[in-house]
Amino acid sequence: MLRARCEVRQTTGLKEADLAARLADADGLVVRSETKVTVAILDAAKRLQVVGRAGVGVDNIDVPAATARGVYVVNAPLGNIVAAAEHTVALTLALLRRVVDADRSVRASEWTRSKFIGRELRGKTLGLIGVGRVGGEVARRAAAFGMTVIAHDPFATEASARAAGARLVELDELVRTADVISLHVPLTEKTRGLVDAAALTKMKPTAVVVNAARGEVVDLDALAAALEKGTIAGAALDVFAEEPLPADAAIRRAPRTVLTPHIAGSTAEAQTNVAVDVVEQILDVLDGRPARFAVNAPRPPAEEAGGMAWLRLAERLGSLAAQLLDDRPAQLSLSYAGSVLELDPEPLRAAAVKGLLETFSEQRVNLVNALDLARSRGLVIEERRETEAARYAALLSVSVGSTQVAGTLVQGEPRIVFIDDFWVDVPVEGHLLLTKHQDKPGLVGRVGTLLGEHDVNISSMQVGRLHPRGEALMILTLDDPVPDEVRARIRAFADINAVRTARLGM
């Protein structure tokens, strides 16, 4: 997929300086978990637009540094969900049924069945620390085994947990009552060392810990000590704080363990899913479209709700408003009316700010860094919400200074429908010529004739007015930019009050 569109260079095992030296002209970078994308790497890759992590976690990427540079960071949060969930169940079964020990025994020519009495999942309580995508899939599979599922997740709602078949509880209750404690959380400062010596002492002596999330969320030394003392009954781990696992790691010698080398997401199906998800997003970014699963940019609205069309409209409204101003704006006001209220406002806000700032900034501006740039420049962003929209079922408005523009989707396509008190119908692509003038016969014709004389082609025309022979707004969509001398001559026409030009989406 990449080679059909890009020049692809593949490298492995490079140190930071060597990798940085190869990225000077790179537009995209794809990494797995072992490659660290640091400030030095990002500084060396001046053209870099997107970093793709072919997996879920992005703790090997300096996301704040990428955001500050307007670089998308994308991952594949859905591609290996099923693989990770199935491996979690496999680890749990292998641990409780002592599969690994029994296998070794048979290979050693033993046949001591009595040594390998296991335990069933049926009737046990599964405690999920994290009930997001992977945790939810584990919960659904646990239900098939007849397990009771409880979960702790500060970001989950009662409804979302219930949909996965879990009941939300406090972390302390989960640790004290669960028979199987399975971790499904990202690595953050709050989750680092979450399962520590204190947590382990609260667990039932028959409890087991399963971790296929991030190695750092479990204190391995404390876990090894608890296993040696018999404080808990076992542990099954696929991830470790240091990988490969050091030869002298205490957990290697701990009893009642199953250890696998970070393979939860390693199925043939997951590898394909992850690769496709990441590549599709990289190509989207390189084509100027936002990524579906960017970890440092707002997610576009769903396609059934208008998707990219709303983002394109918001960006063009911000751009048009900026181009109609004389001075740099100090404040941006957004208004969501009608069914726009059903959309997440964050991507619309970021898109409008992107369009606004691009007019004044030579720095790269996109959905990744638009809001941060706005804050750093002191741009005040205000928002209001109206349940009903004038004239249209949905209306998005952008106001900057004395200029107000608004738009909606017409048969799924973005259109500008309001400019400074005038209702119009204008496409969001092309060169625009806008005139405010007195509505008198012949004026439109004179403007059109002058443009024709200078080989400027008109693709569409709109005239909005408040009442006959009063002030009117004419918007011409053009195939070509208007030369400065032509603009000056139009401004000199009698009854012309103001002339503006704008360029949208080109």
pLDDT, one tens digit per residue, over 331-390 is 999 999 999 998 889 999 999 999 999 988 888 899 999 999 999 889 999 999 988 777
Give the pLDDT confidence of 58-74 residue by residue, as tens digits: 889 999 999 999 999 99
Decide: 183 and 208 in contact? Cβ < 8 Å: no
CA distances from 38 to 13, 15, 218, 372, 403 (A): 16, 12, 25, 20, 42
- Do 228 and 255 contact (CB within 8 A), yes or no? yes
Share of the chain above pLDDT 70, in %: 99
Q: What is the mean pLDDT of the chain?
A: 93
Q: 504 with 432: CB under 8 angstroms?
A: yes
SS3 168: strand
> Which stretches does DSSP call E strand in 153-238?
167-168, 180-183, 208-211, 234-237
243 in catalytic set: yes
Query: How far is residue 70 from each of residues 35, 75, 289, 294, 472, measured CA to CA in Å?
Result: 20, 16, 14, 12, 41
**pLDDT value of position 462:** 86
Q: Catalytic residue among 69, 141, 152, 262, which?
A: 262
Residue 262: active-site member = yes
In angstroms, what CA-CA distances link 420 with 183, 399, 403, 406, 474?
A: 55, 9, 6, 9, 12
Banded pLDDT at 304 (limits 50, 70, 90): low
Domains, the chain, ordered by start: 16-79+269-286 (3.40.50.720), 81-259 (3.40.50.720), 298-420 (3.30.1330.90), 429-506 (3.30.70.260)
Please identify which of the residues 98, 152, 184, 214 carries the catalytic annotation: 214
- pLDDT tens-place string over residues 188-209: 889 999 999 999 999 999 999 9
Residue with tokens 């918001």: 314
Angle 157-136-216 (CA atoms, 0-180°, nearest 5)?
Answer: 95
Per-residue pLDDT tens digits for 262-295 = 999 999 999 999 999 999 999 999 998 889 889 9
- Would you state the pLDDT for residue 57? 78
Backbone dihedral region of 257: left (phi > 0), alpha (psi from -120 to 50 degrees) or beta? beta
Annotated catalytic residue, options 243, 346, 382, 413? 243
pLDDT at position 506 is 66
Q: Does residue 186 contact residue 57 with C-beta atoms inside 8 Å? A: yes
d(CA 478, CA 457): 6
Backbone phi and psi for residue 251, each to the nearest 5 degrees, phi listed first? -65, -25
pLDDT band at 9 (very low <50, low <70, confident <90, very high): very high
